[in-house]
Amino acid sequence: MAPFAASAQGSQKLEAPADRSSPPQFPNGFVWGLATSAYQIEGSPDADGKGKSIWDTFSHIPGKIKNGDNGDIASDHYRRYKQDVALMKAMGARAYRFSISWPRIFPDGSGTPNAKGLDFYNRLVDELLAAGIEPYATLYHWDLPQALQDKYRGWQSRETSKAFGDYSSNVAKALSDRVRHFFTINEFSVFVDLGYRGIDTTADGKPARIEHAPGLRLSPAALNQVRHYAVLGHGMAVQAIRASGRAGTKVGPAENISVAVPVIENAAHVKAAERATRDLNAAYLGALLEGKYSDAYLTTAGRDAPVFTEEDMRIIGSPLDFVGINVYRPSVYVTTSDAAPGYRVIPESASHPRMASNWHLLGPEVLYWGPRLLQSIWNVKEIYIAENGCAAADEMAADGTVSDSDRVMYLRNAMMQLQRATAESIPVKGNFVWSAMDIRMERRLQPSVRARPCRLQDAEADTEAQCYVVSRGCVSKCGGVGWPKFGKSA
C-alpha cells in the first residue's frame, strides 16, 4: 500500500486541508518591540558625572567575568544612540524597552539629580519618538549605584528601597510627558538570587560558581530579607510614579516568571500547572499581585522568612496597570498528583533540545502558557512579554549574510504560541525581543553566542518580511528566511 493511502476497509475519509488564505493574526494595536539594558549597551561609565554601579565594580574584579569582559565600552550606545535608533527603525521596531542607569541620574544613589544624566535619556526619548518608536522605560536593570551598596549594603536595607522610590519619582517627573509606560524592576529573581546568594554547580566536571553583582553569599534568612526589600522597592516606585507622573502614565514590573507547563492539556493537569506556577513565583510576582506572601512560602521558609509589616505588604501590593513577564523557557513540566501539593514535576529528558545557550531549554509553548497562567491565577488585565528571544552563533558568511535559521525557527514557533494566547482573549498587549543589538557583555551566554533580534514584520506587505540581524553601521540580510506572517498589527 502506498504511504498514507487509505486502506480498503475501515478507513475514514481524509478531511480537506484547512483554509490558510487568512493567516492567524495578532490583535490590532499589538506592540512589536525590542529590549536592552543600560549597563550592557551604554558604555561611557564615567561620562557626564555618572557614578559607579555595582556592575562597574564587579566586572573589574579579576576572575568574575569570562575573558575579563566589562561594560566600559559595550555597544557604545551612550555616544552612538542616534545610529542605534536608526537601526531599530530600519528593522521595523514599533517600540523600544530601554533601561535607565540609576547612577547616571543619582551618582551617589540619592540627593540632587545629575542634569546631564537625565538629559541623555531626554535626548534618547526624543530620538525614538522622531523615528516613530514608542519608548518604554525600565527603572532598574541591576546597575545599583555602588554608593548605596557601600552605605546600606544595597538591597539588604530598606533604605535602598526608599532611595529607589525617590529615584523613580524624579525619572517620572522628567520623562512621563513622553514615556507612557514604566517598568519598575527587571527580573527580581535573577539580580537577588544570583547577586546575593549565587549558585555553586559544576561545569565540565569541575566546580563552578554562577553569580551576579555584588557577588555575595548570604544566608537563607538574609536572602529572603533582600527579596522582601526588592519587592518593597518596586511598591515604593509604583506609588512614586503615581504621585509624580503625568496623568495616564502606566506602571508594572518586568519579572522572569517561572512557568510550569502541563504535560497534558486537560483540566486536571492545567490546574496542577496553576498550583505549581503560583508556588514557583511566591516570593516575587505572587507578593506583588496578591499583596501578601503565600502560606506555603512562609511555611517553607520557616524561621528564615522575611521580617515585614502590614504596611510593607500594602505598598508591595500597590495596584498595577500591567504586568511584564520575561519568557524564554519552561521552568518545569508538571502532571497532576493526588499527593500534596497537587502536582508532580516531570524530570527533563537528557535529550530535550536546547538553543545555543545551554540554559535555554527549547519549549516555545511557554509563550502560550506563561500569559495564560498569569491571567488565570492572578486575573491580570494587561500583559507584556517584556523579553523573549534566543542566542545564536551568528556566523557571518563571505557575502556578509548571517543565516540564523535557529533564531528564526525559535521566534516563529514562539510567536505562533503567543498568537494562540491572544486568540483566546488573553490580554497580551505586546512583545519585546531581546536584544535590540549585539551585547558585547552578555553574562548568561556561551562564548561566541550572541542575542539578536529578527526584523519585525511589515504587516502591510503582501509577502513575508526578511529576517535581519543588526551590526553597528549595517543591517545584514539573513539568508532569505522569512518572519512568520501574523497579519496586521500596530
Residues annotated as part of the active site: 187, 387
Q: Which residues pair with 482 in a beta bridge?
A: 466
**Environment class of 450 (CB within 10 Å of its CB; exposed 0-12, middle 13-18, buried 19+):** buried
* Rounded CA separation 319/314 (Å): 10
**CB within 8 A of 238, min separation 6: which ones?**
184, 251, 318, 319, 320
SS (H, E, C) 420-440: HHHHCCCCEEEEEEECCCCCC
DSSP 320: -
* Rounded CA separation 241/116 (Å): 21
For residue 312, the tally of other CB atoms under 10 A from its CB is 21
Q: Give yes or no for a contact between 454 and 34, defined as CB atoms under 8 angstroms apart.
A: no
**Max Cα separation, the chain?**
84
Phi and psi at 375, nearest 5°, equal -75, -40
* Rounded CA separation 179/183 (Å): 11
Asked if omega into 214 is within 30° of 0 (cis), the reply is yes
